[in-house]
Amino acid sequence: MTGQPDAAASAAAARRTAWLAFGPLAAVVGLRWVLAWLDDRAARPPAWPLQPFAGAQGPLDAAAASAWVLAALLALCAALWWLRRRHGAPLRNRVLAVLWLLLGVAACAAQLYHYLNLSGLRPEAAPLAARVAGTHFKPPSLRSAGGQLLVLQLAGAPGAAPLQVRIDDPRAQRIAPGQHLLLHWAHGRFAGRYVTGWQMADGAPAAAAPATR
């Protein structure tokens, strides 16, 4: 008689494990699909992030970021090992389950933040004048849509650090180093600067900024 309750308990535990293992991942993928569907229906204007040029960072900056990530992973592994040794595997497994759920929630929150940030762009009336210091084409990949990477030096700020923007419009491949551009741009709802269009500084249109909603 004890076999049936034990089997039912094992089946319930297996279902809980399956939900914990695949539920957060399914939520992240499902939310990404929904937001992509909303993007297609809304037909929002392009928004290419305008960021500091990554090549201006020294090797120590990248090494420091990698060191922090490695230190965090080592600290997590040490904490889990201590939990396993001090309190046993069940508590360690519960902590792992909570961390996995929190990771799924954080991934969903990041997707929502990005979507809302781009859905509330605040356009600036005055364009940014910039000189193209360099270009590099990045082919599409599984992680990125690719596009033309432009290294820009803003006019009136000769000593400032260069900026970069990657534009996935094929017309941007005609932009050459040394050319001067007028960048139409906007602030994100929460943070960030985004290029919404550009034109040559001599007035020849390259990609007019689309009308904002």
Judgement on whether residues 8 and 103 belong to the same structural domain of the protein: yes
Q: Is the pLDDT of residue 193 over 90?
A: yes
Inter-residue contact 182 to 154 (CB < 8 Å)? no
Is residue 157 within 8 A of residue 81, CB to CB? The reply is no
* Confidence band, pLDDT 50/70/90 cuts, at residue 4: low
Which residue is listed with tokens 């700020």?
157
Residue 51 lies in a domain: no
Both 103 and 156 in one domain: the answer is: no
Which of the four pLDDT bands, split at 50, 70 and 90, describes residue 55? low
Residues 155-168: tens digit of each pLDDT: 876 667 899 999 99
Comparing C-alpha atoms, which of 50, 66, 45 is closest to residue 119?
45
Q: What is the model's pLDDT at position 59?
A: 57
More confident residue, 158 or 205: 158
Q: Is the pLDDT of residue 170 over 60?
A: yes
SS3 of 37, please?
helix
Both tokens assigned to 122: 């605040």
Strand, coil or helix: what is 128?
strand
What is the reported pLDDT for 144? 74
Mean pLDDT of 80-101: 85
Q: In 3D, which of 12, 49, 22 has the Cα closest to residue 152?
A: 49
CB 130 within 8 A of CB 156: no
Given a cut of 50, whether residue 206 has pLDDT beyond it is: yes
State the pLDDT at residue 25: 92
Are the beta carbons of 181 and 175 closer than 8 angstroms?
Answer: yes
Q: Is the pLDDT of residue 121 over 50?
A: yes
* Interaxial angle between packed helices 3-42 and 89-119, expressed in degrees from 0 to 180 and rounded to the nearest 10: 20
Domain residues for the domain of 140 are 122-207
In one-letter notation, the amino acid at residue 57 is Q
Q: Which of 3-7, 20-24, 50-54, 105-109 has the lowest mean pLDDT?
A: 3-7
**Locus of tokens 């500084």:** 201
First to last CA, the chain: 68
| Co-location of 113 and 165 in the same domain | no
What percent of the chain shows pLDDT beyond 70? 83
CATH of the domain at 183: 2.40.50
Q: What is the rounded average pLDDT for all residues in the chain?
A: 83
pLDDT band at residue 3, thresholds of 50, 70 and 90? low
Same domain, 97 and 15: yes
Cβ(153)–Cβ(178) under 8 Å?
Answer: no
